[in-house]
Amino acid sequence: MNHQQQASLKSQTAEKILTGDRATGQLHLGHFIGSLQQRVALQHRYQQTILVADMQGLTDNGHHPRRVADNILNVVADYLAVGIDPLKTRICLQSAIPALAELTMYYANLVTVARLQRNPTVKHEIEGKGFGASIPAGFLTYPISQAADITAFKATLVPVGDDQLPMLEQTNEIVRKLNQIVGEDILVECRPLLSEMPRLPAPDGKSKMSKSLGNCIYLDSDDRAIARAVKSMYTDPNHLRIEDPGCVEGNVVFTYLDAFHPDSAYVSELKQQYQAGGLGDGTTKQILTDCLQTLVAPIHERRAEYMADKAQLVALLKQGSEQAQEEADAVLGEIKRAFGLKLF
């Protein structure tokens, strides 16, 4: 498909995509397989906005704003390095779009505290973060802010994992409530675009890959770091001798091969050999190491180039954010008009 055909395809669909990442760390292979790859594909077919969610990052880093601030350009460089094209995808910074904060304030009056406390995603995250009784108000209410992000761009499709579905339900509740109050369809409901890829486990096979657990393979990991991570991977603890039959279920090396190796027939063959006996973990790990190094090396390299010109990243983010503010401000303006608050 050439560029013209792509453009025509894009204008045919009214679907708009909103997606993004908390700017709380560099992106890793879990992001790559779970969402970045998909975004690269989607940008040819849809109007896509990617939000660098620094405000959301602050909701559980309120006392450590630098942890968020220092990662904004990292995330933008990650995007560009994996092939997100700023000419096709709008990349913008949440904190640079005041209309998102304003929408959040309006929506907060339409959602009860009890409803937020029942939100399964938030509940689960609150437990995971060990806030105890000290939940920041900004954290409890971040589903409202997320509804602002989604509705500000009239997004109709939101790529999510199924653990995030309650967030979209919350958004659509706000959409319906607001439209009902004003008696017109200012806001648009969204649908999830579920990722087909199950969550990538961490090398230990137990936890999910997580910046905070320090068990990630990042998009800018170098060859040595990748080799080290693969070497530490959980395989089959009963597979003691090479000639023994091994188990591929729960074997992280095979999970990663399934996710990242370009030749699935070859991976199937390896699995058969491994299950039959005669294929050692050293060999499978070497194959995975080669595969990941081949994948990550060019990303790593492009990423370094982008990071060498931070002014360019800032300029890109500024342009995207200005466009985004214009669009979000239009939605805000419609709400204010309908509320009778647009006096000037």
Site residues (vs a copy of itself, CB under 8 A): 54-55, 58-63, 65-66, 68-70, 72-73, 93, 95-96, 98-99, 101-102, 104-106, 108-114, 116, 133-141, 144-145, 177, 181-182, 314-315, 317-318, 321, 336, 338-341, 343-344
Q: CB of 103: closest distance to a copy of itself in angstroms?
A: 9
Closest to a copy of itself by CB, 183 or 237:
183
**Half-sphere exposure (CA, 13 Å, Cβ side) for 200?**
24
Q: In what order do the strands lie in the sheet with 16-22?
A: 89-93, 47-53, 16-22, 157-160, 191-194
Q: CB of 334: closest distance to a copy of itself in angstroms?
A: 13
Q: CB of 253: closest distance to a copy of itself in angstroms?
A: 39
Please count the other Cβ atoms lying within 10 Å of the Cβ belonging to residue 221. 22
Q: What are 23's two structure tokens?
A: 């700017």
Q: CB of 178: closest distance to a copy of itself in angstroms?
A: 9
d(CA 158, CA 160): 6
Q: 3-state secondary structure string, 41-107?
A: HHCCCCEEEEEEEHHHHHCCCCCCHHHHHCCHHHHHHHHHHHCCCCCCEEEEEHHHCHHHHHHHHHH
Closest to a copy of itself by CB, 40 or 111:
111
Contacts of residue 331, Cβ cutoff 8 Å, sequence gap at least 6: 99, 103, 151, 152, 153, 154, 186, 187
d(CA 297, CA 221): 8
Closest to a copy of itself by CB, 16 or 90:
90
Closest to a copy of itself by CB, 176 or 228:
176
Q: CB of 166: closest distance to a copy of itself in angstroms?
A: 16
Closest to a copy of itself by CB, 11 or 112:
112
Please count the other Cβ atoms lying within 10 Å of the Cβ belonging to residue 264. 10
Q: CB of 112: closest distance to a copy of itself in angstroms?
A: 5
Q: CB of 105: closest distance to a copy of itself in angstroms?
A: 5
Closest to a copy of itself by CB, 110 or 297:
110
Of the candidates 170, 205, 176, the residue with the CA atom closest to the CA atom of residue 188 = 176
Closest to a copy of itself by CB, 144 or 230:
144
Closest to a copy of itself by CB, 68 or 299:
68
Give CA separation, 92 vs 129, 147, 172, 330, in Å.
Answer: 27, 16, 23, 16
Q: Which residues of 24-52 are buried (b: 16+ CB within 10 A; e: fewer)?
A: bbbbbbbbbbbbbebbbebbbbbbbbbbb
Closest to a copy of itself by CB, 186 or 299:
186
Q: CB of 161: closest distance to a copy of itself in angstroms?
A: 24
d(CA 19, CA 155): 9
Q: CB of 29: closest distance to a copy of itself in angstroms?
A: 27
Three-class SS of residue 19? strand
